[in-house]
Amino acid sequence: GVIVTNRGDEQRLYAEKSIASLRHIPIGSNITPCVPPDYNRSVWRAALGFSDEDVVVGYFGFLNASKGIETLLQAVRIAQNNTLPVKLLMIGGRTGTSDPANILYAKEIEEMVEDLGLNEHIHWTGFVDNTAVSGHMLAADMFALPFRDGVSFRRGSLMAALAHGCAIITTHPETDMVDLVSDEHVRLVPPDSPTALALAIEDLADNPALRENMGTNAHTLSEEFTWEKIARRSADYFQELLDTRS
């Protein structure tokens, strides 16, 4: 038997391979929502250099060429040029160890930040523990995850943002994701389009009620991806495979 974590892989394997049993079981969030003790959002934001008036756009995860960081930086500059007080909160380590190419890519991103004049508008947290990640995610007004290959439930950063009830802007998926509805769970924009992303940031900044509603729906959706449910579905699948061989 074969387990896949997303519909895209399921469709490709179904079409390309002769597999007797194929089951789609998604991943969950790699960060457990955990509000820091005595959490005060305004105080937390101030410690990061953000005011209550700033529009804080969060990003979580390593820097990788597939994640559309260039698009995000350009979109922030466009929104700032349109007088929106946008700031970026980049949560987590920059490169990790799984892909050496990420180190070169991170240097390119640092040069782009300099060229766009965004150094004073970005806070990089570096590696932080689970509780700090939660505090940072809750401090942002929205999250931008402009994946170049489209959003997918295989993305841990998406799952973490859903679990924290964030208002999320991300890119149209390559394959159908019926569970993810634009302006209900997330705002979907085309990949590699700084203008579209900037307009989405500006629109959500002007619509706090929509952000709140999207965040509530995102959190509700995340309940389908708890590790307890994933473990149960995996165990049930293993038992089904064993039963067919008994």
* pLDDT tens digits for range 149-161: 999 888 999 999 9
| Burial (CB count within 10 angstroms: exposed 0-12, middle 13-18, buried 19+), residue 235 | exposed
CA distance 129 to 201: 28
Distances 210 to 168, 188, 215 between C-alpha atoms, Å: 11, 14, 8
Pick from 75, 94, 95: which is nearest to 86 by CA? 75
Note if the pTM is more than 0.85: yes
CA atoms within 13 A on the CB side of 151: 27
Mean pLDDT of residues grouped by 10 in the chain (246 residues)? 88 82 91 92 96 96 90 97 97 71 84 95 94 96 96 91 96 79 90 98 97 96 93 96 87
CA distance 114 to 73: 11
Could you report the per-residue pLDDT of 72-91, keeping only the tens digit for each? 999 999 999 999 999 999 99
Q: Could you tell me the maximum CA-CA distance found in the chain, to the nearest angstrom? A: 67
For the chain, how many residues are written? 246
- Within a 10 A sphere around the Cβ of 175, how many other Cβ atoms? 13
> For residues 88 and 57, is the Cβ–Cβ distance under 8 A?
yes
Pick from 167, 229, 237: which is nearest to 200 by CA? 167
- Round the average pLDDT of the chain to a whole number and report it: 92
